Structure 1
Amino acid sequence: MKLLKTKTKMKIIRITFLGIILMASTNCQPKNTSTKSDIAKETTFPKEAFTTEELQNYETAYFASGCFWCVEAIFESVEGVKEVYSGYSGGKEENPTYEEVAYGRTSHAEAVEVYYDPAKISFTKLVQVFFGSHDPTSLNRQGPDRGAQYRSIAFYKNDEQERIIKDYIDLLESKDAYDRPIVTQVVEFNTFYKAEEYHQDYERKNPNNSYIRNVSIPRLNRFKKNFESYLKKEIQH
């Protein structure tokens, strides 16, 4: 896959993405509506389990681009990514809860923590996955989810990562990839608070949830279609 699609293709992808998610009437709101039938089966592919000690051998990256149920599933489909956790970052409050964040009572955004093997995927490609899987021109909104808690953020942990993010934004804008300015925040990483356990692997465990069916799975499938070469081999078509 080319590092940057043509202007026309990028616009078609963005419009298609918006059309899919804007048709949904559900949203990523604080309620656990899972039933026994919802969690009876898992979606996508078998997931390899890692211990905390094993994960320490990998690098971490942090992103926010809307409902973390969607974002977690996208990054977990990428070759070289070992584990992804849903959580909260970008704010000042300590130990936030889902209800506080989802109702906009904190300055945090729903975010993900990505553990990856730099020998198999670079931070640059993770940034491409981030921008290629959501609308970075949408201010404080992704699809049906509205509020600053759903804003677009690319976090960096060092000067090199900051440069990579900003250079890629410059490249997208120089190619007029979007009709509107990119509003993604480029923020130095501080703290990541892991979300409540029932949020982890939410899409996988709740395939019949209305939000998952109408928003999350279509978003994942769109990403898989456009980034097929980035996918884990077991889920490539």
Structure 2
Amino acid sequence: MRKLLVLLISFTSMGCQSNKTTTSPVVSQEDIVEEAMLEAPNLQQYETAYFASGCFWCVEAIFESVKGVKEVYSGYSGGKKKNPTYEQVAYGRTNHAEAVEVYYDPKVVSFTKLVQVFFGSHDPTSLNRQGPDKGAQYRSIAFYKNDDEKKIITSYVSLLESKNAYDRPIVTQIVQFDSFYKAEDYHQDFEKRNPNNSYVRNVSIPRLNRFKENFKSYLKEESH
């Protein structure tokens, strides 16, 4: 734990900024649907966790690099509007945040470690902003589904504060999970599908690489 705290203190996050206008997919919608049908994993045996920490393109890629994580989906959570669209969320027309749904094997990676990944891969002291991303849709949220998860999150926040891990107060919201709405198909695996996209190249990939450098023992073999 002491080593992890040192890593957390030294980690500096730029955040992530998705385009305010709809980004055209590089591959066709038909290709995405066909591939999804062929590769859709059976996720019934996995647990789920939900986090928001800026643009979901970046957050999805980070959690997908973690050992024990089977699948990650980009989407929207934290608000009340049903079935929101990207445009509605991006322009602040809902109270949703860009979030991720993480499917993980608790025998390989614990919820505690996922919380550590969450706090170690963004700036939890930045209110309604991650790097260049501005607005409540990019706020920091750790969702919990039960009292045990809530205790894990609050205890870890207390630990970070007691160790003065940050020079500003942590403003992450700790919110009971209600619903998650999967984002449009072209947002899924966006970083992986669009490595030459200027935003991905200049913001997403550097953020992912900083996380990998600080959390080497948490990574899947192929992510090193």
TM-score, shorter chain, exceeding 0.5:
yes
Q: Tell me, in whole angstroms, the C-alpha distance in 2 between the residues paired with 1:192 and 1:31.
A: 20
Q: Tell me, in whole angstroms, the C-alpha distance in 1 between the residues paired with 2:4 and 2:72.
A: 25
| 1:124-203 correspondence to structure 2 within 5 Å | 124-203=112-191
The residue type equivalent to 2:23 in the other structure is N
- For residue 225 of structure 1, report the CA deviation from its aligned partner: 0.5
- For residue 175 of structure 1, report the CA deviation from its aligned partner: 0.3
- Match status 1:31 vs 2:19: no
Which residue is 1:13 aligned to? 11
In the superposition, the TM-score normalised over structure 2's length comes to 0.90
Question: Can you give the 5+ residue segments of structure 2 that lack an aligned partner in the other structure?
Answer: 28-37
The residue type equivalent to 1:125 in the other structure is K
- For residue 2 of structure 1, report the CA deviation from its aligned partner: 5.0
Question: Can you give the 5+ residue segments of structure 1 that lack an aligned partner in the other structure?
Answer: 37-47
Partner SS state of residue 94, structure 1? coil
Alignment match of 1:89 (pick from 77, 95, 98): 77
Question: What's the Cα RMSD here?
Answer: 1.8
The residue type equivalent to 1:167 in the other structure is S
What is the aligned residue count?
214
Residue identity (%) = 71
Q: Tell me, in whole angstroms, the C-alpha distance in 1 between the residues paired with 2:64 and 2:8.
A: 23
Alignment match of 1:122 (pick from 110, 116, 127): 110
The residue type equivalent to 1:150 in the other structure is Y
| 1:10-89 correspondence to structure 2 within 5 Å | 10-14=8-12, 17-18=13-14, 27-35=18-26, 49-51=39-41, 54-89=42-77
| C-alpha spacing 1:234/1:61, structure 2 compared with 1 (3 Å) | same
